[in-house]
Structure 1
Amino acid sequence: MTHRLRSVGLEYAETAPLRLVFVAEAQAPPGAVFTALADTEGWPRWFRQVSAARATDGGEGREIRLRGGVRFRETVMAAEPAKRYAYRIDETNAPGLRALLEEWTLAPSGGGTMVRYVFALDGPPPLRFAARLARPGVGRTFREAVRTLDRLLADG
């Protein structure tokens, strides 16, 4: 069954009832990191939890499958080269979510890139509690993805 989520804007990255924020450093420049983020089909190569990804609606949307069977239909909310990539989840088969926005912001840092990731969501209290408990794992997953992406970009 597919659940439709509430439509939220970019400000949700700062106003969501629950925000998980993580930062990691990449050696690659912001432009290269952004290009990888905007290449939806490339995500499974560097983000191990993503088993399949494809762009939809001429690149304005995405369909993502995670390992374990969770699916998302998303709208790309921001694609600012070398600065920001953000998407809102519109539909999912994961129960309980009311709204979810993910934002990746990029800033030059010592010849590389400071990558900031915001996982902004709403759901009933048990879901928000579970998300808080999952924070260390989400952070590990994010840092691992950035390291893998950095290696991929270094290898050309």
Structure 2
Amino acid sequence: MDTDQPPATPTWYDFRAVGPDFIETAPTRYVVTSTIAAPRQAVWDAFCDPESWPHWFPNVERVVHEGAPGIGMIRKSWVAGCVHDETMVIWDAPHAWGYIINRATQPLAAAQLELTTFDALPDGGTRVTWTLACEPLDGLTFLSADMDFPTFLKAMLDEAMGGLRRYLAGKACTQ
């Protein structure tokens, strides 16, 4: 292998820009929920901390935020070998955040908005609801024709909340 060769420049796939209303008007929507035995503010704080994500969300390798937290903040995430360039379009601390994908290194959809809401529960825990709204690409079944995608998303969110619970418990032990 020739190590003097520069790394390959990734191919980027542009997504169509959409606004917050796309969460209701998208041709395809997936909604999954999970609960975590942690206060909403702690869950929100972990979601807002880009350095924490690789410790608790499945397949997240790295997350970087550019700009001040809130609407317009750019978020870059490296997930399972795919890089996403995202812009926050919804920000209601500590209740909800949502972002559009501007472009990615895999052709995931023509347009995509993801909304996460955080609801405080009477027992002190938090219900996390993840809505993925997209316009599938022509000829590309989102994401796989042989996959029950809502079940896949639910399992991923449940795994993430389990990871977040362990992450927050570990932080509490070191403080």
Q: Matches of residues 142-153 of structure 1 in structure 2 within 5 Å?
A: 142-153=157-168
Question: CA offset at residue 47 of structure 1?
Answer: 0.5
- Specify which of 82, 86, 91 is matched with residue 79 of structure 1: 91
Which residue number corresponds to residue 22 of structure 1? 32
Structure possessing the higher radius of gyration over alpha carbons: 2
Question: CA offset at residue 70 of structure 1?
Answer: 0.9
8 Å contact 2:108–2:142 — kept in the other structure? no
Whole-Å separation in 1 of the counterparts to 2:39 and 2:94: 8
The structure in which a higher percent of residues are strand is: 1
* CA deviation map 1:109-150 (0-9, x unaligned): 121111100111112253237276333222111110011112
Question: CA offset at residue 18 of structure 1?
Answer: 1.0
Whole-Å separation in 2 of the counterparts to 1:147 and 1:121: 26
8 Å contact 1:103–1:118 — kept in the other structure? yes
For this pair of structures, how many residues does the alignment match?
155
Secondary structure of the 2:141 match is helix
Whole-Å separation in 2 of the counterparts to 1:98 and 1:11: 16
Question: CA offset at residue 96 of structure 1?
Answer: 5.0
Which structure 1 residue ranges, 5 or more long, are not aligned? none
Question: CA offset at residue 97 of structure 1?
Answer: 1.4
Secondary structure of the 1:151 match is helix
8 Å contact 1:97–1:127 — kept in the other structure? no
Which residue number corresponds to residue 65 of structure 2? 55
1:154 aligns with 2:172: no
1:101 aligns with 2:80: no
Report the TM-score when normalising by structure 2: 0.81
Aligned AA for 2:140?
P
Q: Matches of residues 26-45 of structure 1 in structure 2 within 5 Å?
A: 26-45=36-55
Which structure 2 residue ranges, 5 or more long, are not aligned? 1-10
Question: CA offset at residue 78 of structure 1?
Answer: 2.2
- Specify which of 108, 112, 129 is matched with residue 125 of structure 2: 112
8 Å contact 2:54–2:62 — kept in the other structure? yes
* CA deviation map 1:73-98 (0-9, x unaligned): 00012232220021110011112511
Secondary structure of the 1:7 match is coil
